[in-house]
Amino acid sequence: MSKKAWGGRFDEDMDAAALAFSESVSFDQRLAPQDIRGSIAHARMLGERGILSADDVQKIVQGLEEIRGEIERGEFEWDPTKEDVHMNVESALTARIGDAGARLHTGRSRNDQVGTDMRLWTREACQATAARIDRLLCVLAVRAGDGVDVLMPGYTHLQRAQPVRLAHHLLAYCEMLERDRGRLLDAARRMNLSPLGCGALAGTTFDLDREATARALGFDGVTRNSLDSVGDRDFLVEAVAALANCAIHLSRMGEELVLWSSQEFGFVQMSDAFTTGSSMMPQKKNPDMAELVRGKSGRVVGDLVTLMVMLKGLPLTYNRDMQEDKPPVFDAFDTVDACLDVMAGSLAGARFDAERMREALVRGFLDATEVADYLSAKGEPFRSAHHVAGRLVRLAHDQGKTLPELTLDEMRAESKAFDQDIYQALDMETAVERRKLVGGPARARVQVEIDALRSRLEERGLDVAAIARQLGADAK
């Protein structure tokens, strides 16, 4: 970089290796739309305060609009010797409109400029990712509606535990994703304060109207401390932490699709569009997309760690280390967005095997809890009832039977409280329907949750019925 870029303080140009090491335009050019919006708002405010002439403001705005058009069309030539997106845009502006372009930077620093750009970009990215979460929630809502009457094993420790509905299982992920969406939008609200006007660290002597630029850029207000404003990146940490949480939820979903699509489970058949074959074994149908979602979650967690470690030892205010905030933020959003799209497609095309799920309920004594609850309802202390149920499980296991295959006499040998109605209590559908508390898997409760989810999505402007029709058409 020429010494002229920094004024009269330097006698030597920047070393080529140092320039290559320190340039950021290769990745921060992505901030160009936000940078130009911020510059236009800043220029207009300077004009309103009488700091720039109306003629200068007109030239600046027109020049920036022309540059924006070139960038959108892919015609703008990025120059790594100008280091970053801000200097590239400002240099191009000055080259085409002269001194007016050089006056644009009056009353601001790249420190408050980049802070503004990143808040604008991240705010928009949070909204876009939330919309992708909504798309996945729509798919899950439709698939849950299809699975209301499908019973399957619920698991703890990856051991068959109790019967639940497939819809109830899918709705568990909806709860996770709703929280992820809420965290992202909450982060977007909290970061929605403008640092523009804080300068390098201590504001400026020019009579700026910070509130005006904040309003022009859609901020809720202005930041209150100039030192914190240019030295803060916890708004990025908060957003990426929400993304990491979402990535982990998607990873767990991917893991279950991997397990369920295996021959050992056989609960789901993944579509050809989201699976791959083997280069050697022709019988293979690998759930690669679900595996990649699982694998990419580590990347997003790594992005969060990168941000936090980068910040942990920084004194106030701005330090060049903070240039390294952008690659992990961009990567985290890109990765989670891609995972959300792929997971929505994977679940949209998946075919759940209701019969295989019901078969899995037969073995594993998922009805043992029903025995304990039955005896408790008859007046036995639960701990005693639990022991009786455990002894009956061992008896049935030793005989190669299920609990309903034991005779009433065999059961009564363990407790006189057993009567013929125990066999009705051991019915899987009955067992699920008895769990009708709020949050439980009884059919009516599950349907209420599906309807509530669909209503929330429709209130957000999504056409769940259209997505349901599309999934039905794709299935045919």
Predicted confidence pLDDT, tens digits, the chain (476 residues): 454 555 667 778 888 999 999 999 999 999 999 999 999 999 999 999 999 999 999 999 999 999 999 999 999 999 999 999 999 999 999 999 999 999 999 999 999 999 999 999 999 999 999 999 999 999 999 999 999 999 999 999 999 999 999 999 999 999 999 999 999 999 999 999 999 999 999 999 999 999 999 999 999 999 999 999 999 999 999 999 999 999 999 999 999 999 999 999 999 999 999 999 888 887 888 999 999 999 999 999 999 999 999 999 999 999 999 999 999 999 999 999 999 999 999 999 999 999 999 999 988 899 999 999 999 999 999 999 999 999 999 999 999 999 999 999 999 999 999 999 999 999 999 999 999 999 999 999 999 999 999 999 999 999 999 999 988 766 55
How many helical (H) and strand (E) elements, i.e. helices and strands, does the chain have? 21, 6
User: Are 49 and 175 in the same domain?
Assistant: no
Q: What's the Cα-to-Cα distance from 78 to each of 6, 27, 267, 453, rounded to whole Å?
A: 19, 11, 52, 46
Q: Is residue 469 situated within a structural domain?
A: no
Q: What is the amino acid identity at position 341?
A: D
Q: Are residues 298 and 204 in the same domain?
A: yes
CA dist 329 and 121 (Å) reads: 10
* 447 in a structural domain: no
- Final residue belonging to a domain, choices 47, 74, 106: 106
The answer to the question of residue 141 being in a domain is yes
278 plus 419 within the same structural domain: no
Per the annotation, the verdict on 157 as an active-site residue is: yes
Q: What is the pLDDT of residue 473?
A: 64
Q: How is residue 258 annotated by DSSP? A: H
CATH, residue 376? 1.10.40.30
Domain assignment of residue 434, yes or no: no
Can you give the residue range of the structural domain that contains 28? 15-106
d(CA 23, CA 25): 6
Question: Is residue 432 situated within a structural domain?
Answer: no
**CA-to-CA distance for 105 and 132, rounded, in angstroms?**
37
Q: Check whether residue 335 and residue 386 sit in a common domain.
A: no
pLDDT at 475: 59
Question: Tell me, what DSSP letter sits at residue 264?
Answer: T
Q: Which of 360, 387, 417 is the last residue of a domain?
A: 360
Selected catalytic residue, list 53, 262, 278, 384: 278
Q: In angstroms, what CA-CA distances link 444 with 164, 366, 420?
A: 13, 22, 27
DSSP states of 236-256? HHHHHHHHHHHHHHHHHHHHH
pLDDT at site 13: 85
Tokens linked to 364: 């594993």
User: How far apart (Å, rounded) are the C-alpha atoms in residues 157 and 138?
Assistant: 29
Domain boundary among the residues 75, 106, 137 is at 106
d(CA 431, CA 366): 10
CATH number for position 81: 1.10.275.10
Query: Omega into 317 within 30° of 0, i.e. cis?
Result: yes
Domain contains 430: no
Q: In this structure, is residue 264 part of a structural domain?
A: yes
Do 135 and 38 belong to one domain?
Answer: no
Same domain, 327 and 349: yes
Distance (Å, whole) CA 71 – CA 270: 41
What Rg, from alpha-carbon coordinates, does the chain have?
30
Residues 115 and 99 in one domain: no
Residue 393 lies in a domain: yes
Buried b (16+ CB within 10 A) or exposed e, 19-52: eeeebbbeebbebbebbbbbbbbbbbbbbeeebb
What is the C-alpha separation between 459 and 457, in angstroms, rounded?
Answer: 5
CA distances from 401 to 54, 157, 390, 416, 418 (A): 90, 23, 14, 21, 18
Domain count, the chain: 3
Q: Which CATH number does the domain housing residue 268 bear?
A: 1.20.200.10
Residue-level pLDDT at 325: 98
Q: Same structural domain for residues 20 and 147?
A: no
Does one domain contain both 55 and 155?
no
Residues 198 and 172 both lie in one domain:
yes
Q: HEC profile for 183-213?
A: HHHHHHHHCCEECCCCCCCCCCCCCCCHHHH
Closest CA to 80 of 22, 165, 4: 22
Dihedral of alpha carbons 376, 378, 381, 386, sign: negative
Residues 72 and 214 in one domain: no
In this structure, are 60 and 207 located in the same domain? no
C-alpha distance from residue 414 to each of 165, 364, 383 (Å)? 31, 20, 14
